[in-house]
Chain A
Amino acid sequence: MTEPMISLVELRKSFGAVEALRGVSVEVPAGGTVGLLGPNGAGKSTLIRILLGLLKPSSGAAHVLGIDSASNPLDIRSRVGYMPEDDCHIPGLSAVGYVAYAAELSGLPPADAIRRAHEVLDYVGMDEERYRQVETYSSGMRQRIKLAQAIVHDPEVLLLDEPTDGMDPTGRDDMLELIHDIASLGDVSVLVSSHLLHDVEQVCRHIVVLGMGTVRLAGDLATLRLAGENCFEVRLKGDPSAFLKGLARIGGEAHPVEGELLRVSLPAGAGAKRIVQLAHEGHVQVRHLRPALNTLEDVFMQAMREEGSGSTGTERGAGNAHP
């Protein structure tokens, strides 16, 4: 049986009086891409450091591919590639030298390291620039180099911290495409930590939302985006006044979304048939009807609102991100 990419059990981490992680439990399956979301101070960076074995948890356990991060950090690091958020490099080295150096630090023989460095630099789209010193690169090129050093030793898990940070729109699209391509191989699991919800929405199948050191939300993104069984997107032809009055009479609501598209919320127990019925009574045609989808921003904001209202982290799907 394939080990989960990440498994956290009641994970806690304190720095003196400050509790960065407060009993985080979640399991993320291997394969695919997971988005790690959360506001500043939510505990994302602390979690990544624990996963890499750089910090020991105060209590609880963190496993990557079934390996305990506290007792076997080197085993994890040999199977994980990490792209840090910070702009970091080894001065005086060209991109090829830098990526080959990273490969050798992971144990690749020198000949393989240099060959592999060229391969991954080709892959991330670095051409002749690879012979220039890293210090001379733009921030977008540095992001590519950071991705190259993270994948040079062919890891099974990739931890990407703000991978599109500082990139222009074209570079960002390229980076997201690369992440999507790596994840689509099936045998490389990717975790993307980002505050850019649009980026996460584009490449991730699952998300884990952290807030104040707890898991606010976790699960399959497609499922989480479903607004609820009584919420629909509707487009009508004709004057909708009578339809809207009928809807209000039964306790429903409608909000314009885009153009003539409406988001219709029905009272509990009512389904799509009720909308068709109301449209018939209001003498309008239903041209579009499907379950409403939330944007990732909606999902995220809802999770954060629940945080603000004092929820304890047992939201929809929390604790398990299985598809």
Chain B
Amino acid sequence: MPIHERSYRHWEGKRRGRLSRSLTIARSGVALALKKRGLVALVLLGITPAFIFGVLLYQASKVEEFMGLASHLLWGIDWSGLLGKTPTTQTIWQMLFSKFLIVQLIPVGIVVAYVGPELISLDLRVRALQIYFSRPLTRADYLLGKLMVIGVFVAMVTLVPGVLLYLVGVVLEKSIHVVAETYTVFLAVLGAYVLITLVAGAVVLACSSLSRRSGYVVVLWVMLIILGEVAHGLVGDAMAQSWSHLLSLRANVAQVLSRLFNVAPEYKFDWAASLFVLGVVFLAAVGVLFTRLQSLEGEH
């Protein structure tokens, strides 16, 4: 019979840096989220628009056919500026990718509603904060880890299909020179991903920190989105105010994305106002998060 040593033993080794602790939280959060029934199906459903845009990219390599098909499929794109002249690949891609990411804001909202609410509220419910904050971990490390979880799932419906679409476009163009022409589109996709992650992540985490019941957090998140849209519609239609989109989180992101991709803006009002609103929302959410965590740390 083997003898198994069970006495207390010391550990000798080198500890890893602070970032690794945030990554640990993120990895665990992603693994736990993936255990949720239906999440993978939801993500797959969320990236289906990418296939339509893939077809458009294919058509974009044949510009004349593309113009005809796109005007049928992408209702709402202002092609007037392009009439009478042959658009460059960069121009077409800017419009395609900006439209793609604006369309993806809907799956982002749904996926974030599915993954985000539990990230902090569950820790509150099972009193796990004292496990985190009795360790060499700051509030910022903890929040960064949780934000990374949101970032992973936002990437699945924005960045990953966006980058894949870009690569498909490069392959279809059959020329590496297209990269030199369109690298700004690639950077804009990255920028859009960062913007969406920061705004959606901070807001949903702030909501999550407010309640131990993730059901309430889902309702709060959905209400924020829907009320914004309703207010945008009411003020825009009934009062004919050009700034009405500032009331909607989605519309503000769409407006900034238009600027990021250098295409015609979604709304008339200056995009800088939308960026300002998003900045205020982000800072307010971060403020709520740090204040809540500080008070909760003391409680536990």
Query: Which of B10, B130, B137, B297 is close to A154, meaning CB atoms less than 8 Å apart?
Result: B10
CB of B21 within 8 Å of the partner chain: yes
Q: What is the distance, in angstroms, from B35's C-beta to the closest C-beta of chain A? A: 6
Identify 15 new A-B residue pairs, CB closer than 8 A, beyond the known A101-B24, A107-B15: A52-B133, A54-B134, A86-B127, A86-B300, A88-B131, A90-B28, A101-B28, A104-B24, A112-B11, A119-B9, A122-B4, A123-B6, A153-B135, A181-B7, A182-B8
Q: What is the distance, in angstroms, from B215's C-beta to the closest C-beta of chain A? A: 15
CB of B77 within 8 Å of the partner chain: no
Q: Across the interface, do B300 and A104 meet the contact criterion of CB distance under 8 Å?
A: no
Q: A104-B21, A107-B16 are in contact. Are A181 and B135 (CB under 8 A)?
A: no
- The bracket for how many chain A residues form the interface is 35 or more
Q: A119 vs B13: C-alpha distance in the bound complex, in angstroms? A: 15
Q: What is the distance, in angstroms, from B139's C-beta to the closest C-beta of chain A? A: 11
Interface residues contributed by chain B, number (CB under 8 Å) = 35
Top 9 nearest A-B pairs (CB, nearest first) are A107-B15, A82-B134, A88-B127, A154-B11, A78-B136, A104-B24, A74-B136, A105-B135, A77-B136
Query: Which of B17, B32, B132 is close to A105, meaning CB atoms less than 8 Å apart?
Result: B132
Chain A residue at smallest Cβ distance from B122: A91
Q: Across the interface, do A107 and B136 meet the contact criterion of CB distance under 8 Å?
A: yes
By a CB distance below 8 angstroms, the chain A residues around B20 are 104, 107
Q: Beta-carbon contacts of B45-87 to A below 8 Å, as 1s and 0s? A: 0000000000000000000000000000000000000000000
CB of B180 within 8 Å of the partner chain: no
By a CB distance below 8 angstroms, the chain A residues around B126 are 88-91
By a CB distance below 8 angstroms, the chain A residues around B6 are 122-123
Q: A75 vs B138: C-alpha distance in the bound complex, in angstroms? A: 11
Q: Across the interface, do B11 and A54 meet the contact criterion of CB distance under 8 Å?
A: no
Q: A104 vs B137: C-alpha distance in the bound complex, in angstroms? A: 11
A residues neighboring B (CB under 8 Å)? 49, 52, 54-55, 74-75, 77-78, 80, 82, 84, 86-93, 101-102, 104-109, 112, 116, 119, 122-123, 149, 151, 153-154, 181-182, 185, 187
Q: Across the interface, do B135 and A106 meet the contact criterion of CB distance under 8 Å?
A: yes
Q: Across the interface, do A86 and B130 meet the contact criterion of CB distance under 8 Å?
A: yes
CB of B106 within 8 Å of the partner chain: no
Q: Across the interface, do B300 and A54 meet the contact criterion of CB distance under 8 Å?
A: yes
Q: What is the distance, in angstroms, from A197's C-beta to the closest C-beta of chain B? A: 25
Chain A residue at smallest Cβ distance from B131: A88
By a CB distance below 8 angstroms, the chain A residues around B21 are 104-105, 107
Chain A residue at smallest Cβ distance from B296: A54
Which residues of chain B (1-46) have a CB below 8 Å from chain A? 4, 6-11, 13-17, 20-21, 24-25, 28, 32, 35
Chain A residue at smallest Cβ distance from B10: A154
Chain B residue at smallest Cβ distance from A92: B32
CB of B128 within 8 Å of the partner chain: yes
Q: Across the interface, do B137 and A105 meet the contact criterion of CB distance under 8 Å?
A: yes
By a CB distance below 8 angstroms, the chain B residues around A80 are 134
Q: Beta-carbon contacts of B117-131 to A below 8 Å, as 1s and 0s? A: 000001000111011
By a CB distance below 8 angstroms, the chain A residues around B130 are 82, 84, 86, 88
Query: Which of B128, B131, B138 has most A Cβ within 10 Å?
Result: B131
Q: A154 vs B297: C-alpha distance in the bound complex, in angstroms? A: 23
By a CB distance below 8 angstroms, the chain B residues around A86 are 127, 130, 300
By a CB distance below 8 angstroms, the chain B residues around A52 are 133-134
By a CB distance below 8 angstroms, the chain A residues around B24 are 101, 104-105
Interface CB pairs A-B, < 8 A, 9: A49-B300, A55-B298, A74-B137, A77-B134, A77-B136, A84-B134, A108-B11, A181-B8, A187-B10
